[in-house]
C-alpha cells in the first residue's frame, strides 16, 4: 500500500520538497518578510486567505490525485521560504520553435517574485525576447524528505535603478558573497565582452509544491 501511494504521488511529475529542512518561522520571516492575514476558509484540502498591509495571499489546494490520503496542504509561506532559501534553481524557457531549454541559475526571491540575471548572448535571453513564459524549479533529488516548488510565470527585464540596487544587495548575501553586481543608470554593469547582463523579474501566476516523505502531497496555488 505504501509503495502504491508513493508511485501515485510521483506520478504527478512533482518536485521534491523537504519538510525536514523547512526554515524556522523567524528565518522565513527574515527571508520573505511578514504580513498579517485572515484565513477565510481552511481544511486539509483547501486554504484561502486575504492579507491587509501586504499582498493578497494565494489560494492553497491539495491535489488528491498526487497525494496520500493523510497528506496536508503546504502553506504558501513554506513554499516561499523554500524559494527564498534555494541556492540554485532551474529556469525553463521556450525556444522559438517550441522546444524547451533548461538551465541552472542563482535566484533571489523578493516580494513574491523570482529574479535572475543572464548575459544577452545566452540562449535563455534569446528565448525570453520572443516568449516571456517561464517555469522556475527549486528542490532536490531526495525521495523520503524534501519540499520541491515549481512556479509558472512571466519574465520581464528589470530596468528600475532602485530595484536593481535592491537585487544587488540580495545577491551579495548569496552563497559566500561572490555575487557582486554593480548597478549604473538602470542596468547591471557588464564585464562580459560584447554582452550585456540583464536581470529578469518572474511574476508567478500559478505554482505547485510537492512534499516528500510519508505522507506525500501536492499543493496547488493560484497567485
- Dist. CA 137–CA 143, nearest whole Å: 16
Phi-psi sector, 13: left (phi>0), alpha (psi -120 to 50), beta: left
Domain enclosing residue 176, as ranges: 2-222
∠ Cα 107 112 114 (to 5°): 20
- What pLDDT digit, counting tens, does each position of 132-171 carry? 999 999 999 999 999 999 999 999 999 999 999 999 999 9
- What pLDDT digit, counting tens, does each position of 203-219 carry? 999 999 999 999 999 99
- The sign of the CA dihedral 18, 23, 28, 32 is negative
- The sign of the CA dihedral 77, 79, 84, 85 is positive
Average confidence score pLDDT of the chain:
80
Residue 120, CA atoms < 13 Å, CB-side half-sphere: 13
Query: Higher pLDDT residue, 19 or 116?
Result: 116
Domain count, the chain: 1
- Dist. CA 103–CA 133, nearest whole Å: 15
- CATH, residue 190: 2.30.110.10
- What pLDDT digit, counting tens, does each position of 42-64 carry? 444 444 443 333 457 789 999 99
Amino acid at each position: 500500500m505504501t509503495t502504491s501511494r508513493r508511485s501515485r504521488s510521483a506520478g504527478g511529475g512533482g518536485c521534491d520538497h523537504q519538510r525536514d529542512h523547512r526554515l524556522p518561522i523567524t528565518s522565513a520571516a527574515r527571508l520573505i518578510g511578514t504580513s498579517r492575514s485572515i484565513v477565510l476558509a481552511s481544511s486539509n484540502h483547501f486554504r484561502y486567505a486575504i492579507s491587509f498591509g501586504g499582498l493578497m495571499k494565494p489560494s492553497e489546494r491539495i491535489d488528491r490525485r498526487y497525494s496520500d490520503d493523510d497528506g496536508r496542504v503546504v502553506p504558501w509561506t513554506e513554499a516561499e521560504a523554500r524559494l527564498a532559501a534555494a541556492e540554485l534553481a532551474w529556469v525553463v524557457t521556450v525556444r522559438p520553435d517550441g522546444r524547451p531549454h533548461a538551465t541552472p541559475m542563482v535566484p533571489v526571491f523578493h516580494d513574491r517574485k523570482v529574479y535572475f540575471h543572464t548575459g544577452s548572448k545566452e540562449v535563455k535571453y534569446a528565448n525570453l525576447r520572443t516568449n516571456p513564459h517561464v517555469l522556475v524549479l527549486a528542490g532536490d533529488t531526495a525521495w523520503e524528505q524534501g519540499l520541491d516548488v515549481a512556479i509558472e510565470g512571466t519574465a520581464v527585464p528589470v530596468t528600475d535603478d532602485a530595484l536593481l540596487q535592491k537585487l544587488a544587495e540580495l545577491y551579495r548575501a548569496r552563497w559566500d558573497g561572490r555575487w557582486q553586481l554593480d548597478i549604473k543608470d538602470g542596468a547591471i554593469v557588464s564585464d562580459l565582452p560584447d554582452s550585456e547582463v540583464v536581470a529578469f523579474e518572474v511574476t508567478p501566476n500559478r505554482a505547485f509544491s510537492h512534499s516528500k516523505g510519508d505522507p506525500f502531497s501536492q499543493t496547488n496555488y493560484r497567485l
